[in-house]
Structure 1
Amino acid sequence: MEKKKVAFYTLGCKLNFSETSTIARNFTEEGFDRVEFSEKADIYVINTCSVTENADKRFKSIVKQAQKVNPDAFVAAIGCYAQLKPEELADVNGVDLVLGATEKFKITHYLNDLSKNDYGHVHSCEIEEADFYVGSYSIGDRTRAFLKVQDGCDYKCTYCTIPLARGISRSDTLENVLKNAKEISDQGIKEIVLTGVNIGDYGKGEFGNKKHEHTFYQLVTALDKVEGIERLRISSIEPNLLKNETINFVAQSRTFVSHFHIPLQSGSNEILKLMRRRYQCELYVNRVRQIKETMPHACIGVDVIVGFPGETDEHFLETYNFLNELDISYLHVFTYSERDNTIAAEMDGVIPNKVRAKRSKMLRGLSAKKRRAFYESQLGSYRTVLFEGENKEGYIHGFTENYVKVKTPWDPSLINTLHEVELTKIDDDGLVRFEFVKEKKLVEL
Structure 2
Amino acid sequence: MDFFDVVSTQEARNRIMRNFKEYEFKIEEISILEATDRILAESIYSNINVPEFNRSTVDGYAIKFKDSQGASESVPSLFNILGEVKMGETPKSSIKSGETMYVPTGGMIPEGADGMVMIEYTEKLDEENLMVYKPISFNENIVLKGDDIKKGEMVLKKGRRINPEVVGVLAALGIPKVKVYKRPKFYIISTGDEIIDIDEELELGKIRDINSYTLYSTIVKLGGEITGKTIVKDDYELLRKEVDKAIAISDIVLISGGSSVGTRDYTGKVIDSFNGKGVFVHGISIKPGKPTILGEGKGKLIVGLPGHPVSSIIVFKTIVEEYIYKKMGVIDYKLKTKVIMDFNFPSSPGQETYQMVKLENRDGKIYATPSFGKSGMITLLSNSDGYIIIKPYEEGIYKGEEREVYLL
Q: TM-score range by the shorter chain?
A: under 0.3
Relative contact order (C-alpha < 8 Å, sep 6+): which is higher? Answer: 2
Relative to the length of structure 1, the TM-score reads 0.22
Greater per-residue helix proportion? 1
The structure with more radius of gyration: 2
